[in-house]
Amino acid sequence: MPASIPRLSLRDELFLLGHDDDTGHPHVHRQTLALGLAGAVLIDLYVAGRVTLDLNDDTRAAGHQRIHPHVDRPGGDLIADAAAATIRDAHPLLRRWLRGFSDDLYDRTRAGLFAGGILRQHTRRRLGGLMRADTYLPSDSRWAVIARSRLRYLAAGHEQPNDHTAALAGLVADLGLTHHLYLDDDTPAMTSRLKSIAAQHYQPVRDIIAAVDAAVGDLATAAYR
């Protein structure tokens, strides 16, 4: 990877993949993407050794494990550090924490990417300049291209999955973003392939991804009530 391109967090890469590069429009509902972003934050905390989850067993439904703090060391990422603080104070249930922490996470993630120069604001005026619409576009398309390329190489079997990319594969598949990777393969087959890659991850990461999927399902069910 070129030295000029920083390594983004799992949350930031998922945000970029969740939007159209040219229009800035989200590919899925913002609340759905926000749940995925919350899962990405938690996965990064787990992989960094900052949190743990209860062992999953048959006595609890998926996503009802508690999250526990493990190593209390700020990492310099304001959103991740805020997430760790909520876990340190409450030891919350996994799915409940995803719903609560995702509440304004879309806006906070976008603001962080904008402050870091990864997104730029683009203003469009309509109706003779009377209406203003602000969108956020990547300042450099390479960030999303790099993430897509890693997933493409994994799906084709050219690379072994690392923790970061395997988790990204699972979140992309569960959020319905596979089609927007712009791959030529059959989308259902590619989604299955990405899920199988994610299934090689640590059990707690698989549990987090499953809890995101369940929380997204809860969101869809609530919309029809």
Which CATH number characterizes residue 202's domain? 1.10.3630.10
Q: What is the CA radius of gyration of the chain?
A: 18
First-last CA distance in the chain:
47
The rounded distance, in Å, linking the Cα atoms of 109 and 18 is: 12
User: Comparing 159 with 128, which gets the higher pLDDT?
Assistant: 159
The rounded distance, in Å, linking the Cα atoms of 45 and 89 is: 15
pLDDT given at position 225: 53
pTM of the model: 0.91
Kind plus residue range of the DSSP H or E element containing 67: strand 67-69
130, pLDDT greater than 90: no
Residue 5 is assigned to a structural domain of this protein: no
Weakest-pLDDT range from 29-38, 83-92, 141-150: 141-150
1, pLDDT greater than 70: no
Say how many C-beta atoms besides its own lie within 10 A of residue 43's C-beta: 29
The rounded distance, in Å, linking the Cα atoms of 194 and 172 is: 8
The mean per-residue pLDDT over the stretch 25-50 comes to 97
Residue 4 is assigned to a structural domain of this protein: no
Residue 110 is assigned to a structural domain of this protein: yes
Residue 211 is assigned to a structural domain of this protein: yes
Can you list the alpha helix ranges (DSSP code H) found in the chain?
Answer: 10-17, 30-47, 78-90, 94-101, 105-115, 142-155, 163-174, 187-198, 203-223
The mean per-residue pLDDT over the stretch 153-179 comes to 91
Within 13 Å, how many C-alpha atoms sit on residue 56's CB side? Answer: 14
Kind plus residue range of the DSSP H or E element containing 133: strand 131-138
Q: Which residue has tokens 């979140």?
A: 171
The domain of 212 spans: 10-219
Residue 94 is assigned to a structural domain of this protein: yes
User: Comparing 161 with 111, which gets the higher pLDDT?
Assistant: 111
> Tokens for 84?
């760790």
Residue 1 is assigned to a structural domain of this protein: no
Nearest CA among 4, 20, 3, 48 for reference residue 148:
20
Count: domains in the chain: 1
66, pLDDT greater than 70: yes
Weakest-pLDDT range from 56-60, 85-89, 167-171: 56-60
The mean per-residue pLDDT over the stretch 179-204 comes to 87
State the pLDDT confidence band at 58, using cuts at 50, 70 and 90. low
Q: pLDDT tens, 98-129? A: 999 999 999 999 999 999 999 999 887 665 56
The rounded distance, in Å, linking the Cα atoms of 88 and 97 is: 12
Close Cβ partners of 100 (under 8 Å, ≥ 6 residues apart): 86, 92
The mean per-residue pLDDT over the stretch 46-64 comes to 82
Helix (H/G/I), strand (E/B), else coil: 120: strand
User: Comparing 24 with 221, which gets the higher pLDDT?
Assistant: 24
Residue 2 is assigned to a structural domain of this protein: no
pLDDT given at position 73: 85
User: Comparing 89 with 212, which gets the higher pLDDT?
Assistant: 212
6, pLDDT greater than 50: yes
Residue 225 is assigned to a structural domain of this protein: no
Q: What is the mean pLDDT of the chain?
A: 89
